[in-house]
Chain A
Amino acid sequence: MTSSPLDRITSHQAVMFITNFIFGAGILTLPRTTTEKIKTPDSWIAIIVSGVIITLVAIIILKLCQRYPNETFYQFNQKLLGKWVGSLLSLTVICYYIALSAYEVRTMAETTRLFLLQGTPTWAIMMPFLWIGLYLVQGGVNAIARLLEIIFPITVLFLLMVMFLGIELFEVDNLRPVLGSGVKPVLKGLTTSSLSFAGFEILLFIYMFMKEKTKVTKVPLLGVGIPFIFYTITVVIVVGTMSVDAVVTQTWPVLTFIRSFEIKGLLFERFDSLILVIWIMQIFSTYVIALFIATLGLNQIFSKNSSAFIYSLMPLIYLVSMIPKNINEVFKMSDVIGNFALYLFFIMPMFLFVISKVKERKYEKM
């Protein structure tokens, strides 16, 4: 576990961190979760609006981080809020990340069981996954960044390609009428669609590791922009192909969409399991980043640099991931985590930003 500031990442790698962390298991259910709330075909508008909002929040986070260029969130929140409140906040954040990584691992196991390995027990699916993540996190921020750079092009290109293979089933009529029932449903769905972007807050923790610290506004812009474009494409294609009614009833609408067409003449005719296998890599990256951030937090709060924390987090994550009894409880868990993220990372950074501004003014007056 290397958290020494000598381990640097490039801005390109920082973008990869944000993008890969925002992706994750969420995209497989994204068309359903947004459409459920909105109930009109306008979920893509909600995605676009929330994308813009999230970009703004991400830029605020960047500004906040630029005040403390050589510290992570765990360190500078103590300066802003005092030692005890800061530590408490950090611990909450760590708990959030433990829960998040547990959720990602569990979702992975559930989908794998459903689509790929019917008879295999959940623990057997999760164990090797957890261990490989542990091995990677021990390599430090640089190793993770490099792995993300490998995973990102493979997964994203593959998914885009498969999406566009089904383009002939796409019907514009399914997306009409645009804003047929007014703006209200879109506003209702805004929270859910914003939550799909949860993960942009990673900037709070990785800013310290960045090589270049000035003129990096492009990092949050691209980091949120890539998933933003990607989400929009997914929602438009999936809702456009399957219509609102069908999307709402499917547990994994993206996979159902991919299953709905067959391409003759290729080596593979069906792509749903294949895309899931590829997407497991993306889930892996989300899990690894969450694990890394949690370990980093423990290291920095207790100012120790030992791998004991990672090893102790492993069983914890395993236990938390086994709490939900079935897939519905997993989704409930995701709702809880999402609501938590809403308060933690949408409101808290603004709050901290204001505090830091106020503090600065105070010092200027003195």
Chain B
Amino acid sequence: MRWRRLNKNRMKIEESAKNAKQDKQPFQESINEMTGNLTEDLNLIRQEIGHNSDVKFREFQMGTTGIRIAIIFIDGLADTDVINNHILVDLMWASPKDTGHPLKNSSLKEFIKNQALSVCGLSEARALKDITSGIMFGSIAILVDGLEDVFLAGVSNAKTRNIDEPPTEALVHGPRVGFIENLKDNTALLRRHGKDQNLSIISSQVGERSKKELVIIYMKDIVDPHLLEEVKQRINKIKIDDVHDSSYIEQLIEDNFLSPFPQVQSTERPDRVMGALMEGRVAILLDGSPFALIVPVTFHMLLQSPEDYYERWMAATLIRILRYFSAFIALFVPSLYIAFISFHPGLIPTKLIFSIAATREGVPFPPLIEALIMEVSIEVLREAGLRLPKPIGQSIGIVGGLVIGEAAVQAGIVSPIMVIVVAVTAISSFTLPQYNVGIALRILRFASMLFASMFGLYGVVLFFLLVCSHLVRLKSFGIPYLSPAVSFRLSDWKDFMIRVPLFLMKRRPKLLHPKDSVRKR
């Protein structure tokens, strides 16, 4: 039913877009058009963007013909190599065959396009708006006296950083390549990874003002067309002045903004994106952001690392189970501690309860307050360590972790057992391969501690039921969030908690309804 409703919406949007186009076109043509007179045209462009100090104008004459030419570009954005070695040289030396009479407009244009300019990316534009936006994107505008069409040459060659190993997703095994801020480089990285012709990269623009380029990437013969439509439609709906990072897109297209769980996966690794595409998911890349978005997300993806596939299957399986275990610890251990100590000491072995009671002697706070003091201070330390430069961050870790922990115990504010519990919890939450999952679990941990302090073990179970109830209701782009854990389908379980040997993974996950389901023969 949802699909149907969305389809209807889509049709409506398309219609309105068409209408808008028809309305606008004549209006634009009548006002902002190049006239063909160089002086007038230059004035027009100057009026529009000439007040910017980084917009450069350069006028010269074409070869021996004396035809005036002007080029406009943005300093630092346009490729100066192309300007010096191709545009200036070519046009200044160009000498059309002397036919006796002056070149007509059309033949002049053909000559410049076909014989003079030796640049590959060349387009023509007439509307002022297109020209200025082209310049803003880093193209070089070439105005020729007597021609109404303006050539836009070259592409932006803004300075970018080198391709590095992604700092947020470092691996022991696997390619040491991460996305960077330049979209063209990123798509090229993906092309280099997967030379499949079915890898489709569809471009569109977001940001009413900043007009950032965004690409939707998918495997044409694998992806479920419904999913693709849904993604396109949600991106079309974005109406915002500017998107600074792909996480803007993430927040604008997610299903449930009230959920603590991330419903879009962001990654810096091209291999992870390729893996997701091969499963039939869709990736979104935004110019200026090194984070690719992957949709739809299912819960098990968040506890996976690409390394699971690079290691041999036994090690990978073991590490995966370890991750689930540590996610459980990160979420429940402080609340279980609170529940057992304050409600059910009788359930713990007698010797252990005696030693815990001995260490808690002199601690003036109930377990909840004790746990909150430690949990909050460790969160503060973590946040402080993130913001500081690396060397200082480490010393903060030492000061905070060792000194404060030790001192707090000595001073009798918290018990040593509590320090152990908090430390184990914090370390377990670091094993999660995705930063945003860690945050989700941190939020939920506090909630579960509150439940435990009110209802003991019963509260922990209530909290578990609540989280499960939320998760089973949650969907990411129409795909149930908890699949493949539930609804149970044996064929999808081979890549869930355990990862079976590669030769057994013959089919793509069925939950995404791939068109071509065979992965390996």
Which positions in A face B, CB cutoff 8 Å? Answer: 4, 6, 9-10, 12-13, 112, 116-117, 120, 125, 128-129, 132, 135-136, 138-139, 142-147, 149-151, 264, 267-270, 273-274, 277-278, 280-281, 284
Contact = CB atoms under 8 A, between A and B. Distances in A.
8 contacts: A132-B466, A136-B473, A145-B486, A147-B469, A149-B486, A151-B468, A268-B348, A281-B465
Nearest to B459: A128
Given A135-B469, A277-B458, 9 more contacts: A10-B487, A120-B455, A125-B458, A136-B473, A142-B472, A145-B487, A149-B487, A267-B348, A270-B347
B455 A128 contact: yes
A281 B461 contact: yes
Given A13-B487, A150-B486, A280 B347 contact: no
Interface string B468-489: 1110110000001010011110
B1 A4 contact: yes
B469 A129 contact: no
A146 B486 contact: yes
A112 B458 contact: yes
Contact of A269 (B349, B464, B466): B349
B238 interface: no
Contacts, number: 98
A215 to B, nearest CB: 18
Contact of A12 (B346, B469, B487): B487
B344 interface: yes
Nearest to B469: A136
B486 A273 contact: no
B458 A117 contact: yes
Interface in B331-379: 343-344, 346-350
B72 to A, nearest CB: 57
Interface residues of B, number: 29
B456 interface: yes
Contacts of B171: none
Nearest to B1: A6
A146 B462 CA distance: 17
B128 interface: no
B457 interface: yes
A29 to B, nearest CB: 20
A129 B1 contact: no
A132 B469 contact: yes
A68 B462 CA distance: 38
Nearest to B349: A269
A134 to B, nearest CB: 10
Contact of B347 (A6, A128, A149, A268): A268
Given A6-B1, A280-B458, A139 B469 contact: yes
Nearest to A112: B458
A117 B455 contact: yes
Contact of B468 (A10, A138, A147, A268): A147
Given A135-B466, A136-B473, A149-B486, A117 B456 contact: yes
For chain B, what secondary structure do more than half of its interface residues adopt (helix, strand, loop), or is it mixed?
helix
Given A4-B1, A277-B458, A280-B458, A143 B488 contact: no
Contacts of B472: 136, 139, 142-144, 146-147, 150
Contacts of A267: 348-349
Max chain B C-beta neighbours (<10 A), residue from A4, A139, A146, A268: A146
Contacts of A4: 1
Interface in B227-269: none
Contact of A146 (B350, B456, B480): B480
A139 B473 contact: yes
A215 B251 CA distance: 45
A116 B469 contact: no
Contacts of B465: 132, 136, 147, 281, 284
Contact of A273 (B1, B350, B457): B457
Contact of A149 (B1, B455, B469, B488): B488
Nearest to A280: B461
Given A132-B465, A146-B482, A116 B457 contact: yes
A268 B343 CA distance: 15
Nearest to A109: B458
A273 B455 CA distance: 14
Contacts of A284: 465
Contact of B344 (A10, A132, A273): A273
Contacts of A129: 462
A128 B487 contact: no
A284 B464 CA distance: 12
Tell which of A12, A120, A135, A150 has the most Cβ of chain B within 10 Å: A150
Nearest to A285: B465
A143 B469 contact: yes
Interface in B426-472: 455-458, 460-462, 464-466, 468-470, 472
| A-B CB proximity, top 5 nearest | A139-B473, A149-B486, A146-B472, A136-B469, A146-B486
Given A132-B462, A149-B487, A150-B485, A277 B469 contact: no
Q: Which of B347, B455, B469, B470 counts the most A-chain CB atoms under 10 A from its CB?
A: B469
A347 B485 CA distance: 38
B487 to A, nearest CB: 6
Given A4-B1, A149-B486, A274 B347 contact: yes
A117 to B, nearest CB: 6
A127 to B, nearest CB: 10
A150 B461 contact: no
A228 B10 CA distance: 51
Nearest to A138: B473
A117 B469 contact: no
B23 to A, nearest CB: 38
A273 B456 CA distance: 11
Given A6-B1, A12-B488, A270 B469 contact: no
A267 to B, nearest CB: 7
Nearest to A7: B1
Contacts of B347: 268-270, 273-274
Contacts of B349: 264, 267-269
A213 B468 CA distance: 29
Nearest to A262: B349
Contacts of B464: 281
A156 B348 CA distance: 23
Nearest to B470: A135
Contacts of A269: 347-350
B329 to A, nearest CB: 13
A147 B487 CA distance: 9
Nearest to A144: B472
Nearest to A12: B488
A122 to B, nearest CB: 12
Contacts of B485: 149-150
Contacts of A135: 466, 469-470, 473
A168 to B, nearest CB: 19
Contacts of A112: 458
A226 to B, nearest CB: 14
Contacts of A274: 347, 457
B423 to A, nearest CB: 19
Contacts of A128: 455, 462
Contacts of A146: 472, 480, 482, 486-487
A57 B14 CA distance: 55
A139 B486 CA distance: 15
A6 B3 CA distance: 11
B502 to A, nearest CB: 27
A107 to B, nearest CB: 14
A146 B457 CA distance: 23
A205 to B, nearest CB: 19
Contacts of A10: 487-488
Contacts of A280: 458, 461
